[in-house]
Structure 1
Amino acid sequence: MKRVLVIGCPGSGKSTFSSRLSKESDIPVIHLDTIYWKPGWISCTDQEFDEILRDLLLQETYIMDGNYSRTIEFRLSFADTVYFFDYSRYLCLYRVIKRRIMNHGKTGEYMGKDCQESINYKFLKSVWNFRKIQRVQIMNVLDEYKGSKDIVIFRKPKEVKNYLKNTNDSA
């Protein structure tokens, strides 16, 4: 495990898992939200993002956290390990709303500089539709890489907890 992607619906726990895995494996973590979002929720252009990604993907080791579906296939070509958080929409929506309430007025720990925690209809709709739209795309891409990449799919939070516990036990 040297080049790791962590993908899944917003609110599934990707960033928390990535940070914990980074601490336990001593592999640096890259939260894509901190790269994509400039202060005040201004997104970088596709060209800017792609240039930054190309440089990051050439690093020897990393844990890269974030979906950014436009770039998933490209990033997968560099990765050796993929963790996909395939949780229910209800759990992800609950977590997104909880995070918004808990972090009101604060910049999220894994967000871009000066990007205060926020929530809007478009974002909630993307969480709600993730399984119907993005999940299908992700599963199709992951199917292409079966056998050539280590792919771990988490369907319940307990599976993540057990995985991390077993990782610690074997270390």
Structure 2
Amino acid sequence: MRVLVFGNSGSGKSTLAKQLAEEHGLAHLDLDTIVWEPGKIAVQRPADAIATSLAAFLSEHQRWAIEGCYGELVQATSHHCTELVFLNPGLETCLEHNRTRPWEPHKYASKEAQDGMLENLQAWVAGYYERQDQWSYHAHRRIFDSFRGRKSERLSGSAVAA
């Protein structure tokens, strides 16, 4: 089993991927951990370092759950997955999940530092359906629609198999 979970920030990617990893004994990779410089806020690692980290994870693990919002990484990883899951619960759900998110120590030094970034995160999340970048709904929709393997889209807690 190699499950790739993607969607907007706050859509439930980490929760679902961790649950799948625990239930099925899968290695888990949050793409945030390879995209951002450790110990720094919003400082992206060089593209070659990100690609090297992703390739290393894929070669080291036969069974995994990978999750993230990065369209270019989701697209690249989709060629290795056995199942693609697009979480698309809607904007209000994502915003609420971000407001109630527990501290993510792999991203922030403290809960206070995380909360200090909430306003910026919420503004970015709010633009998900309008933006045209690799981290937008439009990019995610193209990836999902073009994927020919086993896939599902989860809208407001439900799953729609395709």
Q: Which band: TM-score by shorter chain?
A: 0.7 to 0.9
Superposed, 1:25-64 pairs within 5 Å as: 25-37=24-36, 38-41=38-41, 42-58=43-59, 59-64=61-66
For each residue in 1:44-66, what CA deviation from the matched residue of structure 2 results, as whole angstroms up to 9, or x when unmatched?
A: 22111111111222331110011
CA distance in 2, matches of 1:135, 1:7: 10
Q: Does 1:19 align with 2:14?
A: no
- State the percentage of identical aligned residues: 19
In the other structure, the counterpart of 2:104 is 108
Higher helix share: 1
User: Is this contact kept in 1: 2:8–2:88, CA < 8 A?
Assistant: yes
In the other structure, the counterpart of 2:152 is 152
TM-score w.r.t. length of structure 2: 0.81
TM-score w.r.t. length of structure 1: 0.77
Superposed, 1:120-135 pairs within 5 Å as: 120-133=118-131, 134-135=136-137
- What is the aligned length? 149
User: Is this contact kept in 1: 2:34–2:50, CA < 8 A?
Assistant: yes
In the other structure, the counterpart of 1:168 is none
Deviation at 1:121, TM superposition (A): 4.6
For each residue in 1:78-106, what CA deviation from the matched residue of structure 2 results, as whole angstroms up to 9, or x when unmatched?
A: 1111111111111111211222xxx4xxx
User: Is this contact kept in 2: 1:35–1:112, CA < 8 A?
Assistant: no
Gap runs ≥5 in structure 1 = 161-171
In the other structure, the counterpart of 2:73 is 71
